[in-house]
Structure 1
Amino acid sequence: MKRSILIVAMLAANVMIVQAQQPGKPEDTEVWTPVPAKVSPAKVPGAAPSDAIVLFDGKDLDQWENSADAASAEKWKLSDGIMTVDKSVGDIQTKEKFMDFQLHIEYRIPENITGSGQGRGNSGIFLAALPWGAGGYELQVLDNYENKTYVNGQAGSFYKQSPPMVNACLKPGEWQTYDVAWTAPRFNEDGSVKSPAVATVLHNGILVQNATILKGDTPYIGQPAYRKHGASPIKLQSHGDKSEPISYRNIWLRKL
């Protein structure tokens, strides 16, 4: 008992000594400005907050364009508030270009999906679409509820680069969500990397990429690499597999 009392007394004395060695007042370390901007959260989970840019709300595809030909009127199929991949059209991308952002996007693998491996509900979300090589930085969309493939190519991965921490896929036919915090890479004048791309991803509310540092783009063949670029559109992939096309809804973004 005496030993315990002595230890407590010594700890209390140490705290008093530390406090005595720290001059000033509590107010000296308080920060009051700038005051963070007020953002009103959505009343419905998954809906856009007050400062979001709504990229797709089911009404039209005005925020999107054909990736191969911006002047083309051909886009994906729109029905009942949902847009569905049209493989005859190819990829689509946002008209606006972005740097850092928070992205919310929902997708659905068809309930009657067929195929296996990479040929089963394959699509992708390019967080920065680039006009060369592999086309940017792809967050994989695939049916991996009960479908085996290479782990750095399954849903939740940065394609051929960073496997997801866990498999959070739902059954085909159910709506699934990605919530992404994306920091775009920065480059020096000579094209060298000043700071790499960093991404945190939640798949169906579960953390699958935790402040992942990307090594470069996400090519199908070869190693990732960086090439100098600035603000870029977000692209949705129309993959060439033979399975039923997937659908998207409720896409919004907050600039960071």
Structure 2
Amino acid sequence: MGRITLGLKGTLLLGCLNGLMGCGDDPIIEAQECINGLTAQEADAGWELLFDGSSLEHWRSYQQATLDPGWAIENGCLARVGGGGDIISRRQFGDFELKLEWRIADSGNSGIFIRGDELGDSIHHSGYEMQILDNAGHWDARNPTHRAGAYYDMIAPDHDTTVAAGSWNQVHIVANGADVEFRLNGRVTASFTQGSPQWQALYAESKFTDRPRYGTLMRGHIGFQDHWDKVWLRNIRILELKPIKSSAQGR
């Protein structure tokens, strides 16, 4: 909750309590929804939790040594509870499988970045994004390459597999050499070969042409976007893969 009633006289606006609640009238996630853990099969295969519901040790703010309080643990979920900028994993990853679940506020917008560094003004200058969006409520859904599950501004999903805002969506990203695949709720929403002629053609028509390092890295940080809206993330887990020979060269 965000307000306390004082008898018959007005209300007192409470401040934000990191790890417990958001600000004002922001919805608050229920603790029973914030499930984090590996299955026995995932543990045996070598998967690792990047967020266990109680520690933020794997994350920090972009170009910062610590994590801005705009990102916090809310009843066991990682949440954007206030303005805090983008956040990134402390470690960098090359070839991997990444799984997580996200929930977005009504008409909300956010994103998941992979293979980014900190040399630009934002992680978007090098890493690329799997879009998080309330397709039904956010104006940006008018652009097909900006819809949930899209390889943002590059590849549009050929279907909408999202569930309603306020429900959980399952993400599975596979980055193996130059080959990358995005899956949302069990279906492929984007598949591409980083640096290939087809990728180059998409890049030439995108908003990223003034960012020469965009999409050139084969290893980098995972990141989550602060796009001013509340987003929750849970069960963030990763499996590092043995490197393979890339099927395409970077630019």
What SS does the aligned partner of 1:127 have? strand
CA separation of 1:224 and 1:255: change in aligned 2, threshold 3 A: farther
How far 1:75 sits from its partner (Å)? Answer: 5.7
Matches within 5 A, 1:65-84: 65-71=60-66, 74=69, 76-84=71-79
Are 2:207 and 1:221 equivalent residues in the alignment?
yes
Q: Name the CA distance, whole Å, in 2 between partners of 1:49 and 1:75.
A: 35
Q: 2:134 — aligned with what?
A: 143
Q: Contact 1:107/1:246 (CA < 8 Å) preserved in 2?
A: yes
Q: 1:250 — aligned with what?
A: 235
Consecutive unaligned residues in structure 2, runs of 5 or more: 1-37, 242-251
Q: Which amino acid aligns with 2:46?
A: D
Q: 1:108 — aligned with what?
A: 103
CA separation of 1:123 and 1:198: change in aligned 2, threshold 3 A: same
Are 2:175 and 1:182 equivalent residues in the alignment?
yes
How far 1:225 sits from its partner (Å)? Answer: 6.4
Q: 1:201 — aligned with what?
A: 182
Bigger strand share: 2
Q: How many residues align?
A: 190
How far 1:88 sits from its partner (Å)? Answer: 2.0
TM-score, L = length of structure 1: 0.65
Q: Contact 1:127/1:234 (CA < 8 Å) preserved in 2?
A: yes
How far 1:166 sits from its partner (Å)? Answer: 1.4
Consecutive unaligned residues in structure 1, runs of 5 or more: 1-40, 114-119, 185-196
Are 2:223 and 1:235 equivalent residues in the alignment?
yes
Q: Contact 2:116/2:219 (CA < 8 Å) preserved in 1?
A: no
Q: Which amino acid aligns with 2:90?
A: K
Q: Contact 1:48/1:252 (CA < 8 Å) preserved in 2?
A: no
Q: Name the CA distance, whole Å, in 2 between partners of 1:76 and 1:52.
A: 24
Q: Name the CA distance, whole Å, in 2 between partners of 1:158 and 1:229.
A: 16
Larger Rg: 1
Alignment match of 2:159 (pick from 163, 166, 178): 166
Q: Name the CA distance, whole Å, in 2 between partners of 1:42 and 1:145.
A: 33
Q: Name the CA distance, whole Å, in 2 between partners of 1:213 and 1:201.
A: 12
Deviations 1:12-37 (A, max 9, x none): xxxxxxxxxxxxxxxxxxxxxxxxxx
Q: 1:97 — aligned with what?
A: 92
Alignment match of 2:149 (pick from 152, 156, 166): 156
What SS does the aligned partner of 1:152 have? helix
Q: Name the CA distance, whole Å, in 1 between partners of 2:101 and 2:227.
A: 17
Q: Name the CA distance, whole Å, in 2 between partners of 1:48 and 1:207.
A: 25
CA separation of 1:198 and 1:247: change in aligned 2, threshold 3 A: same
Deviations 1:152-205 (A, max 9, x none): 111111111011131111011111111111135xxxxxxxxxxxx321122111
Q: Which amino acid aligns with 1:130?
A: D
The 4+ residue runs of structure 1 with deviation greater than 6 A are 216-220
Alignment match of 1:63 (pick from 29, 36, 58): 58
TM-score, L = length of structure 2: 0.66
More displaced, 217-226 or 52-61? Answer: 217-226
Q: Identity over the aligned pairs, expressed in percent?
A: 26
